[in-house]
Amino acid sequence: MNQIVNNLKGDRWIWLIVILLSLISLLSVYSAIGSLAYKRGVGAESILIKHLAIMIGGLVLMYISHKLDYRYYAGISKLLMFITIPLLLYTLVFGAKLNEASRWIAIPGTGLSFQTSDMAKLALITYLARVLSRKQENIKDVKNSFIPIISSVCLVFVLIAPANLSTGLMLFGVSILLLIIGRISIKQIAVVCGAGLVLLVIMLATGVGGRSGTHSSRIDVFLHPEKADPAKTFQSDHAKIAIASGGFFGKGPGKSSEVNYLPEAYSDEIYAIIVEEYGMFGGIVLVGIYLFLLYRCIKIVTRAPKAFGALLAAGLSFSLTIQAFANMAVAVGLGPVTGVPLPFVSMGGTSMLFTSIAFGIILSVSRDIDEPKGAEEEISSGNKIVVGQISPLTP
């Protein structure tokens, strides 16, 4: 055990966060899969074991990705983008459909599916971190810097948004935050936002992907729930009932009643089940865990010795925390219904795996922060090493 712990490098607090989220996930998923097990005609334990296997696989990927020097991800980002764009296009046209949305590619002969938007998030963030860090010296150059950046952001948004608007908008927002950190001018950022708005309006007006009616209906139900069909407010109503009935300390583990009514209780609405069983106290603790994750990641960003590492950690941490708070906001009625899972807590396949890789990359960046400390120790021991203070935006 000591040997395993010693091999875990990087920010130890983030490792602790991962362990806590893993435990919360196992407890809450086991409570939420009763109705799913009944529909499938299997035992809840078999579904939990599958979830545990995916989680262990994710932890293995996290360990491997955190051991790899984060600088290698600059080259990997080009390959990821090269693979992701065709996969997104294929998914949009030929992907497996669920609730009128083409989000998955079925893997023949396995019974498994692959959600390409999860890979797209990782690909775009790593690619933007690479481009922004390498273009710092001529970051104001429209042709050589701005055009490649806006092209990649808009292309990925166009391919994701028709079937998964919430994920597309969140990824677009993370991209804007990265552009701000990467010193892109306000005028250019305004152009990117304008381009994104135009693409969104065109998509909704033309009904690309066949989901414009669903998007507008969800927004209308959120803004005017009193006028909506009760069938359309069923999910949000029962999420609110679950949260309200939880009280401060909750009903206790496995004692949720709304788990029998909430669709996707083990995924999209898992926060409502957590609050019902563990109360407002449990909900606040979970919010605190994600806020602490953001705090630790910001510390990594500010101390990272290279621009690429800082931008990489910033983009991935913003993506994880924005997704987490979007999921929780929907559960408490602060946003329209979406299909966004709670990172590293909701039951899922590719979402869990790519979230694990994102954690691993952040940990890889945090490993690099320890190197200047080692150099400083050599200075104090008399060795002639000069250590300069490097700005986080040094390429």
Residue 214 lies in a domain: no
Give the whole-angstrom CA distance, residue 62 versus residue 359.
6
Angle at 134 between CA 84 and CA 187, to 5 degrees: 85
Residue 188 lies in a domain: no
pTM of the model as a whole: 0.86
- Look at residue 194 in the predicted model and tell me its pLDDT: 83
pLDDT in tens, the chain (395 residues): 555 556 677 788 999 999 999 999 999 998 888 878 878 888 888 889 988 999 999 999 999 999 999 999 998 998 999 999 998 888 887 766 555 555 667 666 555 667 888 889 999 999 999 998 888 777 777 777 788 888 888 889 888 888 788 888 899 899 989 988 888 888 888 888 887 788 777 776 665 555 555 667 777 777 777 777 777 788 888 888 989 988 888 898 888 888 888 888 888 889 999 999 999 999 999 999 999 999 999 999 998 888 899 999 999 999 999 999 999 998 888 888 777 889 999 987 788 899 999 999 999 999 877 654 443 333 333 333 233 333 444 44
Q: What is the pLDDT of residue 386?
A: 32
Q: What is the pLDDT of residue 25?
A: 93
**pLDDT in the model for residue 321:** 94
Q: Would you say residue 87 lies in a domain?
A: no
Residue 9 lies in a domain: yes
Q: Which domain holds residue 314?
A: 2-67+225-368
Q: Is residue 176 part of a domain?
A: no
CA distance 326 to 321: 8
At residue 300, the pLDDT reads 93
Whole-angstrom distance, CA of residue 216 vs CA of residue 223:
11
For 104, phi then psi, to 5°, come to: -120, 150
Query: Considering its fold, how many domains does the chain have in total?
Result: 1
Domain assignment present for 38: yes
Cα-Cα-Cα-Cα torsion 16, 51, 35, 253, nearest 10 degrees, comes to: -30
As beta bridge partners, residue 115 has: 104
Token match 């009935």: residue?
A: 245
Residue 63 forms part of a structural domain: yes
The angle at the Cα of 164, spanning 343 to 266, to the nearest 5 degrees, equals 40
In a domain, 391, yes or no: no
Sheet containing 101-107, strands listed edge to edge, beginning at the edge strand earlier in sequence: 96-98, 101-107, 112-115
